[in-house]
Amino acid sequence: MAAKISKWIQSNAAGWLASFIQYPFNYLGLIVTAIVFSFLIERSTSEPTYQNALLCAVLFNLLSTNIYFSSERLAWKGLLKNGLLVLMATVTIGLFFLLPQEDNSHRSDIFYSAWLIGLGLILLPAVLPEHDDEEIFFKFNGNYFYRFLESFLVTFLLWGLLSLSILAFNELFEIRGGQGKIYAHLFVWLMTVLFAFLFLSRHKKEDFFANEFKYEGVNLMLLTYVLIPSSLVYALILISFFIKNILTQSGTAIWLQDLSIWFIVLSGLTYLLAQPSLNRDTKIISLYRKIWPYLAVPVLLALSYATYSRLKSTGISLENYFRALFVVFGWTSTIIILLRKKFYWIPAAAIFLLLFAATGGPWRAWTLSKNNIKEHVINGLMESGMIEDGKFVLKTEQPQISDALADQIYELEHRKLLGFLKSYDQDGQMFANEEPSAYKILSRVSVNEEKVRDVRGNVNYYREFLPEITPAFGERIIPIVTEFSQHDTLSNKVVIKSSAIELYIEGEKKATFLPDDEMMETLPLVVLSSGGYQLRLFLTQYTALKGKNLQHEAIYLQGIALLSTYNDSSE
């Protein structure tokens, strides 16, 4: 075994060394990326400075990789190639100093655009081969995809094995506490430096252009007897589902949209793998190549219908914007195939759409979705009665808003865009001269939850539970209300506030409980003790915000509190 490993290292050592010599800028950028990532993990921070550094490092890696690939494709001289690399390094360093240091909507706007451009750079190598030669195009991209996937799987497998080894070592020697970050650090370094090392060390022009590339053996069987039949059955089910949706108006547009997108992605990849340049042609593969574009048309019609319905009901959120962009890409790709144009134009169209979404003026993703959602939120609050005659109006009875409107308020909070509502709070009743927040708005309404959800993220998450509740001896049930609930006249209650939970008995505050993050992770059961009282909170529904300090702020909840007393020795 040792001899085989030694032989494998010796046979690949020359390629590894050549990789370091050939791509020095890439490895330098990858090391910087891994260091910044590790710093963010170790400090558990989201400070804008480090996020800016990470963005610039990733962009430089993508730019330098494309410069290397282009230099091989176009036979650039060393001076031109190195000059472009130095220029890109200067541009990304300059970008770091120009990026805003405050975490605001303007900075988020720049980040969205930068990541979209980065995604376009990932796709750019696909259009580098000579697009006039279809065989060379598929040969290059087949090798490119295979090398990428192979390097990723090897790296991921190594990370899994090392993580299991570390876990076993910790269990063996009973090492506890603070071990979770080790796996994250390991993942970052392997998925940046090692992954690139495996991929780039095998990247040679003759590998991607001259070597024959075919999916054969098991891959050919998988394509013929699994992927193609599954795509055909999937298409028939999806078309039937679309017809049923049209006839019954069952209101399942979001499901239809998601299913259609996955069909276009998976069946489209199957169609690309079915090209004769990549496979030994068979009757099944040839038939699939002929009928797929015509199957894609009704699915795209279903996707267009579902996307239109979604846009009409919930507005142009960022998610809906990119779904609509995918519809445009799907139609463009299908038309290119039906007109028998070069496949080169498909990745080129994807890159163009990404650049359009990133830099398209008033039609760019951030700007268009921002303006549209603001309009939807104002209209929704006016329909609920919260805004009348251009200002917030507080009423005794809580108004009811839809789940979709609550999601739009969450999105504006996440994107630091709720400030515009300040102008509607002319008397300061809603926000009390503070910055507008989703907490202040949604604490005063009743949210109509249409379905069980589990949405998690840095800004909000929703939980729904159905626990079996059995009061213990000496416990009594007491109502749970929020800070601005209409039940604030109750004399016995548990009041959930943004920073504390308060217990009132006979109208008098008896205890204040301060839940921490560790307690909140035990949901649906939270046990709190203070002032001689113990609360067992069983939450059946829980929606909350997470601030930068991870302090939970309850927005909307339902549940049961079980109250008991105990002897507090501290008193």
| Per-residue pLDDT tens digits for 520-553 | 556 667 777 787 888 777 766 555 544 433 344 4
Place of tokens 């259609």: 260
- Ramachandran quadrant class, 531 (left: phi over 0; alpha: psi -120 to 50; beta: rest): left
Domain interval for residue 493: 460-565
- Compute the 3-state secondary structure of the chain and give helix, strand, coil in percent, each to the nearest 5: 60, 10, 25
In a domain, residue 274? The reply is: yes
* Residue-wise pLDDT tens digits, 70-86: 777 676 777 787 888 88
Beta-bridge mates of residue 534: 529, 564
Do residues 113 and 363 touch, judged by C-beta distance below 8 A?
A: no
pLDDT given for residue 547 in this prediction: 43
Separation CA 466–CA 456 (nearest Å): 19
Closest Cα partner for 412 from 363, 446, 454, 378?
A: 378
Residue 511 near residue 539 (C-beta atoms within 8 A): no
Distances (CA, A) of 101 to 46, 417, 436: 12, 17, 22
> Per-residue pLDDT averaged across 227-253, rounded?
78
Kindly tell me if the per-residue pLDDT of 64 is higher than 80: yes
Domain stops at, among 309, 340, 371: 340
Output the pLDDT for position 455: 32
Asked if the structure places residue 356 within a domain, the reply is: no
pLDDT of residue 18 exceeding 60, the answer is yes
Residue 352 lies inside a defined structural domain of this protein: no
Split into its structural domains, the chain has a count of: 4
What's the rounded Cα separation, in Å, for the pair 57 and 505? 57
State which amino acid sits at residue 553: E
Q: In this structure, are 62 and 154 located in the same domain?
A: yes
Rounded average pLDDT over 449-464: 35
Strand partners, 529: 534
CA angle, residues 400, 406, 407, in degrees to nearest 5 = 155
Q: Which of 414, 448, 482 is the last residue of a domain?
A: 448
pTM of the model: 0.65
3-state secondary structure (DSSP) of residue 521 = coil
Same domain, 195 and 226: no
CA–CA dist 207, 140 (Å, integer)? 9
Half-sphere exposure of 453 (CA within 13 A, CB side): 14
Q: Which residues contact 326 (CB under 8 A, 6 or more apart)?
A: 261, 264, 303
Q: What φ, ψ does residue 316 adopt, rounded to 5°?
A: -95, 75
Quote the tokens at residue 433: 């001269």
- % of the chain with per-residue pLDDT over 90: 1
CA 70, distance to chain mean position in Å, is: 30
Based on the fold, state whether residues 28 and 167 are members of the same structural domain. Answer: yes
Residues facing 535 on adjacent strands: 528, 563
Q: Which residue has the tokens 């001269």?
A: 433
What is residue 45's predicted lDDT score, i.e. its pLDDT?
Answer: 61
Question: What DSSP letter does each residue of 225-268 carry, written as one string?
Answer: IIIHHHHHHHHHHHHHHHHHHHHH--S-HHHHHHHHHHHHHHHH
Maximum mean pLDDT: which of 6-10, 407-411, 446-450, 474-478: 407-411
Same domain, 415 and 274: no
C-alpha span between 547 and 551 (Å, rounded): 6
- pLDDT of res. 328: 92
Let me know if residue 357 belongs to a domain: no
Task: Please indicate, yes or no, whether residues 171 and 199 belong to a single structural domain of this protein.
Answer: yes
Residues 396, 499, single domain; the answer is no
- The chain-wide mean pLDDT, for the chain, equals 74
Whole-number Cα distances in Å, 100 to 52, 119, 289, 347 = 8, 22, 49, 32
For residues 304 and 260, what is the distance between their CA atoms, to the nearest angstrom?
A: 9
pLDDT at 465 over 70: no
In a domain, 26, yes or no: yes
Mean predicted confidence (pLDDT) in 368-375: 84
Q: How far apart are CA 486 and CA 479, in angstroms?
A: 13
Least confident of 183-192, 212-221, 286-295: 212-221
Whether the CB-CB separation of 284 and 228 falls below 8 Å is answered with yes
- Predicted confidence at residue 555, as pLDDT, reads 47
Task: Give 484 or 308, the one with higher predicted confidence.
Answer: 308
Q: What letter represents residue 182's amino acid?
A: I
For residues 307 and 438, membership in a common domain is answered with no
Are 443 and 487 in the same domain? no
| Vertex 72: Cα angle to 71 and 73 (nearest 5) | 95
Residues 326 and 403 in one domain: no
As given in the structure block, the two tokens for residue 246 are: 């049209």
Query: What SS3 string covers 430-479?
Result: CCCCCCCCHHHHHCCCEEECCCCCCCCCCCEEEEECCCCCCCCCCCEEEC
The rounded distance, in Å, linking the Cα atoms of 331 and 301 is: 9
Instruction: Examine residue 176 and state whether it is found in any structural domain, yes or no.
Output: yes
DSSP 154: H
Among 157, 189, 210, which residue terminates a domain?
A: 210
> What is the distance, to the nearest Å, from the Cα of residue 231 to the centroid of all Cα atoms in its chain?
26
pLDDT in tens, 181-213: 788 888 889 888 888 888 777 555 555 555 555
Distance CA 431, CA 428 (A): 6
Query: Quick count: other Cβ atoms within 10 Å of Cβ 434?
Result: 11
124 and 351 Cβ atoms separated by less than 8 Å:
yes
% of residues, the chain, pLDDT over 70? 71
Residue 499 is assigned to a structural domain of this protein: yes
- Cα separations in angstroms, 145 against 122, 123, 413: 12, 11, 39
Neighbours of 338 (CB within 10 A): 12
**Residue whose entry in the numeric block shows the structure tokens 């529904």:** 541
Are 310 and 287 members of one domain? yes
Whether pLDDT at 489 is above 60: yes
What single string gives the DSSP state of each residue in 549-564?
T--EEEEEEEEEEEEE
Closest CA relative to residue 510, chosen from 570, 569, 563, 443: 563
Rounded distance between C-alpha atoms, residue 509 and residue 206, angstroms: 78
The verdict on 151 and 228 lying in the same domain is no
Residues 68 and 140 in one domain: yes
Domain assignment present for 538: yes
Q: Are 559 and 539 in contact (CB under 8 A)?
A: yes
pLDDT digits (tens, 9 = 90+) for 317-370: 888 888 899 999 999 999 988 887 777 788 888 888 888 888 767 778 878 888
- Whether a cis peptide bond, with omega within 30° of 0, leads into 524 is yes
Q: What is the pLDDT of residues 133-157, one digit of tens each?
A: 667 777 777 777 777 777 888 888 8
Q: Is 493 helix (H, G, I), strand (E, B) or coil?
A: strand
Going from the C-alpha of 451 to that of each of 255, 541, 544, the distances in angstroms are 13, 12, 17
